[in-house]
Amino acid sequence: MDHIVCLDTKTKELENLVNGNKSMIIRGAAGRKLPHGRVNEGDVLYFINNNGDGEVKARGVVSSVLNSDQLSVEESFETIIRHQDKLQLPDKQFEKLAGKRYLVLIGLNDIEEIEPFRIDRSILINMDGWITIDKIEKVALRPS
């Protein structure tokens, strides 16, 4: 399975993945929502920045997935702190995610920049930072 993942431009999340400062991404919510339960080892994540340019610029292969059960506030904090060496969350992101009842932590390998390409912007309309698709080719807009 392929996934398109929107990363935070302000905190340079994409750059930190590509340069090796970060090897894990996280999503958190009050309930189970994407990507909870939808990501598996071996899946490929394609990364875009949340600046609206709609360009895929890098990819990585999922090496591990932790889909939490419902967590207490303390358990949520502890889970993030335990993985902070791989997450490298700035304080603002930490504050936003710590305390969420459901967390998804995704470890990555083989993170690499790729030749940028645009995706069909119609799929971004209801995007909440994560889109799961069978194959990236279904939404890639590559020059002919």
pLDDT tens profile 67-120: 999 999 999 999 999 999 999 999 999 999 999 999 999 999 999 999 999 988
C-alpha 123/C-alpha 36 separation (Å) is 19
pLDDT tens profile 9-38: 999 999 999 999 999 999 999 999 889 999
Report yes or no: 138 and 132 within 8 Å, Cβ to Cβ. no
The domain locations on the chain are 2-137
pTM: 0.93
pLDDT for 106: 98
Examine the pLDDT at 128 and tell me if it is beyond 80.
Answer: no
Q: List the CATH code of the domain at 2-137.
A: 2.30.130.30
Average pLDDT, whole number, for the chain?
A: 92
* Percentage of the chain exceeding pLDDT 90: 81
Query: What b/e readout covers 111-132, taking b as 16+ CB neighbours within 10 angstroms?
Result: beeeeebebeeeeeeeeeebbe
